[in-house]
Structure 1
Amino acid sequence: MKKEGNIVDNIINPEVEDEIYQKPIKEVLACFSTLETGLTTPDTVKRIRRYGYNELPQKKKDSQFILFLKQFNSPLIYILVLAMIISFIFKHYVDGYVILLVLILNAVIGFVEERKAERAIDSLKKFIVSYAKVFRDEVLIKLPARQLVPGDIILLEEGDKVPADCRIIHSKNLQTQESSLTGESLPESKSADILYHKSPLGDRTNMIFMSTLVVSGHAKAVVVETGKSTEVGKIASSLQDIHYKESDFQSKVKNLTFIMGSIAIIGAFIIFLLGYFYRSLEFIDIFFFTVASLVSAIPEGLPAVLSVVLAVGAYRMAKRNAILRHLPSIETLGSVNVIVTDKTGTLTQNTLTAEKIYTSEGLFNVDGNGWQPIGRFYLKDKVVNPNNYPSLSKLFSICSLSNKSNLVRNDGKYEIVGDPTEAANLVLSKKAGVERENLLQDHLILDDQGFNSDIKLRATVVSLNQSRRKQLYLVGAFERLIENSDFHLVKDKKQKLKPKDKDAILLRAESLAKVGYRVIAFAYKDIPVNSKSIKDNNYSELIFVGLVAMKDPPRLEVKEAIEKAKSAGIRIILNTGDHKATAIAIARDIGLTSLLSPKVLTESDLEIMSDVEFSKAVSEVDIFARVTPSTKLKIITYLQKQGNIVAMTGDGVNDAPALKKADIGISMGIIGTDVARESSELVLADDNFATIVSAIEEGRVVFRNIRNSSSYLVSTNVAEQITIISSLLLMFPLPLLPIHFLWMNLITDGFNGISLSFEKSHQTALKQPPKKRNEKILNKEVIPFILIVGIIMSISTLAFFYYFYSNFGIEKAMAAAFISMTMCQLFNLFNMRSLHKSIFKLGLTSNKYALYAFLASFTLMILAVYLPLVNNLFRFNPLSFLELIMIISSSSLVLVVGEVYKFIRYSKK
């Protein structure tokens, strides 16, 4: 073997790297100073120091200074800059400096908001971690893929994402999807065979590459390149972690911004016409006034505020174990009205435990819980040695050898690597003292095919070395195996399986399924000695061995979550590969149905239906059993045709098409495959159905907060425009100057709009029906409220202005108008915390951010009116304490009117 020091030269030398696929595998292992049993921990520590972590280079972010400068890149800001320049040209220095101050403060607020969103997204990325199955210290463990180093030995199975560039050591039926690298959409067949000639990337059939996906088969491979040295790293590709995409929600925001902008421009045009032609004001004065009203009427910070709302909402969801891969999907979540869910892991605890075994020698009970391989076997309530029963011994052999899972002990706790059902079989055999390593001394696995969800079976070809016989082992759906069995194992002899015996076995299996067990059947057959592949054999004339009944108890919180979902107007559909009796039992346990005999449809029932019958079944039936992935896709399609917004859970490769088709594809973070996660919008970090309901609740809360924030901004801007237009029509002096509107817009919009994004559920989000897909942010329900509070603000402001102008002069009148409009907007903030619920039921302090925003805006308002020099800039004459209290008290009428409106409109609902 070469020494560690030579590895670096080999890896960074392109000539050596290009020849990796041309070398014999022994030479490749020697080149990387590794063995098939893997590296040791000290080796990996050295290599991480030398090569770094297995990560692609991150896109360079803008510096904070550049991010700050970008806040000035907006058409609205250009208008303000133009207004500032004109102010200085015409020697309106006060106006010019105030606009400059507004520009700087607006940029600071925008910068802070974008940094918040950026930090929230960075935090969200930390929740999405890819793992790899790797041999370390001769033990197969599961590690974050970023910890892989050149020389690591990894296992890959169907559904895995390839974590690094690797040379295949050996494989079986391996196919990878390399479209992310080569653009080729068809799967590529792979093998360990050496290539003798120089080959382009797409023809290197003994190599697998980072970011590609395993779509079938399995392999053992050695890592040859990591991080930026991989092929995908060289071309600066992306892992497609968290990214933005155009969505219905973003279209709604653009449409809202366009409408509001159009209204603002029309309003500004009316103001200019009234001021210049109707009131004959100086051009420069009405110009500045029009620009100020335009800027204050357009919520230029709305897109940034909404980005913060989305990012904060997604981060809040992640803390509840629901990880969004695409942020705009959070809005779609709030619209979901159908959840199509699998059973295992999502509704159950995903700790499958084999509790009963049925063979020709009797019904055995097995104790023990979870993945701990310790338990006793009972026959007729007596402890027995399972190895004294030949049928059990054969069953344990099949359990161990027709199995790709592994059991790992970490810190005294047993964990599984692989499929939970196979892991339960492995634990069962270990309880009997049967170890796979010992069996492999006398058995050679020639071919192995993982569980096929279409035929509901997994298969393994085994050579029995001592007897030179070969057998085909089969594990899967009991109906299929019982039907295909012509014999059964009685002790250690095969006997003809009579029809009455088949019926008895089938009855036993169904009786176990009816009480909630997942029932797995085991069978085998002798095959010709020249047979090496599963494809060489059929699945007939089998020898039935026995049944294993497993229990995966429902999660404790699922029943309550289903009740919440139903009360929220969400339909739950159980879509499982289990037997229909098992599906009914679990549906009753979790509260999905209370009927003794609910309607259940199986794959065979659905296959014979016409399109009309299928559509009707999908709209009426809530439990589907023994369904294939293609039927899951069809169910999703028909649900969507009926106008539903569908969320679907999935964990396997074959679930990927249905996950992509669903409005919200939900993959499992623990038991799910990488392929399923790549096809989904939402990843459940805890594989828990209750987390889906929590995510939908959070989606509804985010949309509600977006609506409330938008309504707040619109209502304040409408009030300002009504006030200006009314003052011009009433022949009043202008109640507020351009700098007043600019300052007011600055201190009341940004702080307060963002504070509403932190509003919590109020325990009402799941008590409302789902919103419709095309529901607008500002709907007919909101507009009357906006107009009412806008008119109240305008009347209050103009009334105080007229009173103080008539008695004390223009400067005190402007101060009174400024305080009145600002306080009306601040009191309106509490209105907009909920468009339905009283602020006194919510509690004034239940959203501390709204309280902080109120106090900050109030302080800046007081400083503008009372701080010497500053009030001179604004041309304010300060009010007395009693006058201030009078205006503040009167401005609270906005809150009173809001409470009355909510009571009249919603108290009976």
Structure 2
Amino acid sequence: MTTSVAASTTVHHGLAAHEVVLLLGSDPHRGLTDREVAERLTRFGPNTLPAPKGAGLLVRILRQFHNPLIYVLLAAGAITAGLGEYVDSAVIFGVVVINAVVGFIQESKAEAALEGLRSMVRTRAKVVRDGHERIVPSDELVPGDLVLLEAGDKVPADLRLTRLVELRVDESALTGESVPVAKDEVVLPEAIPVADRHNMAYSGTLVTTGGGAGIVVATGAQTELGEIHRLVGAAETLATPLTRKLAGFSRILTVGILALAAATFGVGLWRGQDAVETFTAAIALAVGAIPEGLPAAVTITLAIGVARMARRRAVIRRLPAVETLGGTTVICTDKTGTLTENQMTVRTLWTPGDRYEVTGSGYAPDGTLHDSADAPAPVEADRALRWSLLAGAACNDAALTHEDGRWDVVGDPTEGAMLVVAAKAGLGVDRVAGLLPRLATIPFSSERQYMATLHRDTANGTHVVLAKGGVERVLDLCDAQLDADGTVRPLDRATALREADDLAGRGLRVLATAMRPATGPGENRPDGFGEDSLAGGMVLTGLQAMLDPPRAAATAAVAACRTAGIAVKMITGDHVATATAIAGQVGLLDERAEGAVLTGVELAALRTEDFPEAVNRAAVFARVSPEQKLRLVEALQARGHVVAMTGDGVNDAPALRQAGIGVAMGHSGTEVAKDAADMVLTDDDFATIEAAVEEGRGVFDNLTKFIAWTLPTNIGEGLVILAAIVFGAALPILPTQILWINMTTAVALGLMLAFEPKEASIMTRPPRDPDQPLLTRALVMRILLVSTLLVAGSWWLFQWELANGANLTEARTAAMNVFVVVEAFYLFSCRSLTRSAWRIGLFTNRWIVVGGTVQAVGQLAITYLPVMNTIFGTAPIGGDVWLRVLAVAVAASLVVAVDKRLRRPRS
């Protein structure tokens, strides 16, 4: 057999099935041989989507140094080394390297988490090779392979279908079409769009009913899925609010520090001071003013946020996405699987004699049936109810599975729901199979709109016909209805339709069930059972109304988001009635709001100038196309919103990439969606998004607290050196002492703020204004206040010690300790930027206590150990000096407390 496989650009849907088989050098019955598979696997590669091309190891390492503040530190380290200050230089370079290592490790952890998710979706495929059926890993498929499909299978590659039986495929992941698509083998025009290629089955889609076979025509990156994967991967990743603000903040700070250092050098020269000493002082000022701990603090604070989110079932792919969530102003969420369970559940059963409600949700057969008086449903006594349940369970091709503690359905979700409700009534699958073994089937089809089956009734040895399907179509088959006592009466079609309309108006999907004894000529034999004998002879047993129920935590999560000032909008391809019903149940809709629900047709009809306002006003978008999803995100961003967008399909990938933060589903999401997203939910639950928003706000709070804590020290150190140059005095603190202060306090004190618990009011605040700077005016004023207190306190004590007989080394040691002790006191104030430190509680963050203890030990060591005295130019000081240091710290704390009280927002 030849192996001249056609190029992937061939339009296979435009060819007859036998032409595709010949073109690919395959066999429609025996498939490929093992030798042909091995050759093609070498030629085409594995059937996997390529991992997004990441930066090389060297680039990833160098990327950790890409920050203006780091550039200044590197320059300062090089200059100090050139001046022979090797200790100073080593400390500076050490800080830079530590920052880089921390950033590299956290980035690697995020990529490892993503790779773990990618491996979770590896599937297996049933193929025919050498005339024998085999189960093989899907990544071993090659063009020309003959693949067999059945209900519940994930299509493993792009296939040209060669034979099929009532095959229906859920292509929502690829096209956004929420209803499974019926397949056939007809040859189609070449220009027909993907969504209408009914003779093809595409990689990543799901077989819901029926079965068939197809020839693999494309694998891996050559599939339709792979093409979209490539396009999305080529798109540019948008900067997050945090990265933009930090970049701007770093540039401004860098310019300010360099200008201040230049001014210091100029003033020193103007005053006639030694050029080398003045230059050294200017370098010391630059190093002192740079918050060396900021890059590490940002990385570690984000990493802690990542760890906290992972515990709440959210995997972060990009560190800055943690903070972006905290700034989210609009969440655009899918309905199915995110706000809902993605498990169809029968909620109401109507029979000609009564209506019953069903408890429990999802595919777990846990729940009860009860009547309007809340009494248990009389399943055995109510003949209509019993036969409706039996018809739903026996005339059914789905199967319930229970693996790893999770119930699931293989096959059509609506059929699965009917199996579950029957099991809740005591009519489990095994019992139904024993009561009514199936003999023949008329399968469901889009033309027929019903399914019928012939069974042997083991209870009395007769035969019975069961049917289920669309309400109007089943009613067309019926001329009678069954009462609770088993009486057969003439059909009241108007009442049945009225009940069906009422249930559908509640957003429920309604199916009708029917039965009758098999009495036709030869009908009790499988070969005599046919569609012609059904019309007009069936007996209506009832209606089963179902929906995909809201997740238990969705309502509370939506309410929490709205309390936090975050708008929640549902964007779904589902029908408007279903979307509206679910939105009402989870609290998305305000019934008084005009234009709260829009369909894709209505969106398309809007004028361009009216589109943004209509989108901003609406809360539910139903029957929306993939292109409209992207347009919705862009419209919201044009109004200044930070948008979080959820999605699971390939068609969602462009909107996920465009959004401020893309959120993909871990269970139901495609690889393309996950690769396009910033965050992946391992449980597909909307409540996890709300939890992630809460964590994101906490991360931003802690970053702001760190910046508000660290900048006064850096500014104070720079200003105290500038003051010494201006006044022609000796430096109150030396460059090595500045490096000690910055290095030890950032690690032992400042980073402890990364572990600060979230404040209780965090989800009652409105979202941050996306245009708001990293530091508000109030925080800038506080930073300047504390900087002034540090300069004044250290300068005063330095001069006091000199005036009272201390030598220069002792006076500098006292001034250095003022900086550290004031920082330690101020740290407690920064645990909340608005509330009093006493109201927070000392032990709510035990790491603060641990860090303070470590810092105290360090200060005692640098003050009293001879080797430290030699390295850092310090000297032992007496207890009276420590009392003066503490007095300065207490006074500074009281001033900050008064300022915080005066600036506290009035409640």
TM-score for the superposition, normalised by structure 1: 0.71
Shift in CA distance, 155/99, structure 1 to aligned 2, threshold 3 Å? farther
Question: Over aligned residues, Cα RMSD in angstroms?
Answer: 5.7
Alpha-carbon contact 2:706-2:751 (below 8 Å) kept: yes
Q: CA deviation at 1:176?
A: 9.9
Per-residue CA shift, 1:39-94, capped at 9, x if unaligned? xxxxxxxxxxxx99999899999999x96998799633543443344333xxxxxx
Partner of 1:252: 245
Matched, 1:292 2:284: yes
Residue type at the aligned position of 1:731: G
3-state DSSP class of the match of 1:24?
Answer: coil
Q: Please tell me the residue identity of whatever aligns with 1:415.
A: D
Q: Report 1:212-231 matches (<5 A).
A: 213-214=204-205
Which amino acid is the alignment partner of residue 776 of structure 1?
A: P
- Quote the residue 1:738 is aligned against: 735
Cα distance change of structure 1 residues 273 and 596 upon mapping to structure 2, 3 Å threshold? closer
Q: Secondary structure at the match of 1:766?
A: coil
1:2-50 CA deviation, whole Å, 9 max, x = no partner? xxxxxxxxxxxxxxxx99953326555763999xxxxxxxxxxxxxxxx
SS where residue 409 of structure 1 aligns? strand
| 2:409 aligned partner | 416
| Greater shift in the superposed pair: 214-223 or 831-840 | 214-223
SS at match of 1:857: helix
1:723-734 matches, cutoff 5 A:
723-734=720-731
Alignment of 1:654-803 (within 5 A): 655=652, 658-660=655-657, 662-674=659-671, 676-803=673-800
Aligned residue in 1 for 2:255: 262
Deviation per CA, 1:450-478, whole angstroms, max 9, x where unpaired?
xxxxxxxx998999999xxxxxx9978xx
Which residue among 559, 562, 576 is the counterpart of 1:563?
559
User: 1:130: which partner in 2?
Assistant: 120
Give the secondary-structure state (helix, strand or coil) at the position aligned to 1:851. Answer: helix
Per the alignment, residue 331 of structure 2 pairs with: 339
How far, CA to CA, are the matches of 1:839 and 1:620 in structure 2?
A: 41
| Per-residue CA distance 1:593-612 (angstroms, 9 max, x = gap) | 68699986363993696447
- How much has 1:272 moved relative to structure 2? 0.8
State yes or no: 1:24 paired with 2:24: no
Cα separation, partners in 2 of 1:446 and 1:797, compared to 1, 3 Å:
same
More moved, 895-904 vs 371-380: 371-380
TM-superposed deviation, 1:816: 0.9
Does residue 1:489 correspond to 2:478, yes or no?
Answer: yes
Comparing 865-874 with 406-415, greater Cα deviation is found at 406-415
Match of 2:42 in 1: none
Q: Does 1:858 align with 2:861?
A: no
Cα deviation per residue 1:711-768 (whole Å; 9 max; x = unaligned)?
A: 3332221111221222233333211222222222222234544332222211122121
Distance verdict in 2 for CA 1:32–1:313, change over 3 Å = farther
User: Is the CA contact (8 Å cut-off) linking 2:155 and 2:206 kept in structure 1?
Assistant: no
State the shift of 1:257 in Å: 0.9
After TM superposition, list the pairs within 5 Å mapping 1:311-710 onto structure 2. 311-358=303-350, 370-372=362-364, 381-383=378-380, 400=396, 406-410=399-403, 414-417=407-410, 420-421=413-414, 423-425=416-418, 427=420, 431=427, 442-443=440-441, 487=476, 489-490=478-479, 504-513=495-504, 518-521=508-511, 547-550=543-546, 553-574=549-570, 586=582, 589-592=585-588, 601=597, 603=599, 606=602, 610-611=606-607, 617-623=614-620, 636-652=633-649, 655=652, 658-660=655-657, 662-674=659-671, 676-710=673-707
Query: What is the deviation of 1:820?
Result: 0.8
Equivalent positions of 1:47-62 (< 5 A) are none
Distance 2:236 2:148 in 1: 29
User: Could you tell me how far 1:792 is from its partner in structure 2?
Assistant: 0.6
> Structure 1 vs Structure 2: percent identity of aligned residues?
28
- Residues 429 and 435, structure 1, Cα contact 8 Å, conserved in 2: no
How far off its partner does 1:613 sit?
A: 6.7
Secondary structure of the 2:875 match is coil
1:816 aligns with 2:818: no
Conserved in 2, the CA contact under 8 Å of 1:159 and 1:676? no
Relative to structure 1, the CA distance from residue 657 to residue 728 in structure 2 (aligned partners, 3 Å threshold; closer, same or farther) is closer
- 1:282 aligned to which of 269, 274, 281: 274
2: distance between equivalents of 1:465 and 1:30?
41
Alignment map for 1:293-312 (pairs within 5 Å): 293-312=285-304
User: Shift of residue 814 of structure 1?
Assistant: 0.8
Change (3 A) 1:603 1:362: farther
**Which amino acid is the alignment partner of residue 99 of structure 1?**
S
Match of 2:545, SS? Answer: strand
1:837 and 2:835 matched: yes
**CA–CA separation in structure 1 for the residues paired with 2:388 and 2:63:** 76
Is contact 1:391-1:491 (8 Å) kept? no
The answer on whether the counterparts of 2:335 and 2:570 sit within 8 Å (CA) in structure 1 is yes
| CA distance in structure 2 between the aligned counterparts of 1:658 and 1:157, rounded to whole angstroms | 32
Shift in Å at residue 391 of structure 1? 8.2
Q: Residue 782 of structure 1: SS of its match in structure 2?
A: helix
Distance 2:836 2:117 in 1: 37
The separation in 1 between residues aligned to 2:185 and 2:120, in whole angstroms, is 25
DSSP-derived class of the 2:396 partner: helix
1:238 CA drift (Å): 13
Checking the alignment, whether the CA contact within 8 Å between 2:595 and 2:617 is kept in structure 1 is no
Question: How many angstroms apart in 1 are the aligned matches of 2:151 and 2:674?
Answer: 13
SS of 1:647's equivalent in the other structure is strand
2:900 corresponding residue in structure 1: 902
Name the counterpart of 2:463. none
- Partner amino acid for 1:724? I
Cα displacement (A) at 1:315: 2.7
Following superposition, the deviation at residue 490 of structure 1 comes to 3.4
Partner Cα distance (1:160, 1:288) in 2: 71
- Does the 8 Å CA contact 2:73/2:96 hold for their aligned counterparts? no
Structure 1 CA distance, aligned partners of 2:630 and 2:671? 19
Pair 1:887-2:867 in alignment: no
2-structure distance, mates of 1:392, 1:708:
61
Change (3 A) 1:645 1:731: same
Q: Which SS does the other structure have where 1:890 is aligned?
A: helix
CA contact 2:333–2:569 (8 Å) conserved in 1: yes
* Per-residue deviation, 1:226: 11
Which residue identity does 2:499 align to in structure 1? R
Does structure 2 conserve the Cα–Cα contact (< 8 Å) formed by 1:865 and 1:878? yes
Match of 1:271 in 2: 264
Matches within 5 A, 1:226-245: none
Tell me the distance in 1 between the aligned counterparts of 2:788 and 2:894.
14
Matched-pair contact (CA < 8 Å) for 1:166–1:222: yes
Q: 1:59 to 1:843 in 2, by over 3 A?
A: farther
Measure how far apart 1:802 and its partner are: 0.5
CA shift in 2, pair 1:58/1:853, >3 Å: farther
CA distance in structure 1 between the aligned counterparts of 2:513 and 2:654, rounded to whole angstroms:
32
1:12 corresponds to: none
1:115 equivalent in alignment to 2:96: no
Quick one: which amino acid aligns to residue 891 of structure 1? Answer: A
Shift of 1:867: 0.7
Q: Structure 1 422/501 Cα, relative in aligned 2: closer, same or farther at 3 Å?
A: same
In 1, the alpha carbon distance for the partners of 2:784 and 2:688 equals 39
* 1:868 is the counterpart of 2:866: yes
Distance in 2 between residues matched to 1:310 and 1:258, nearest whole Å: 21
Q: 1:891 to 1:638 in 2, by over 3 A?
A: same
AA aligned to 2:298 is L
**Is there any run of 5+ residues in structure 2 with no aligned partner, and where?**
1-20, 38-44, 129-135, 175-182, 187-197, 372-376, 456-466, 483-490, 515-535
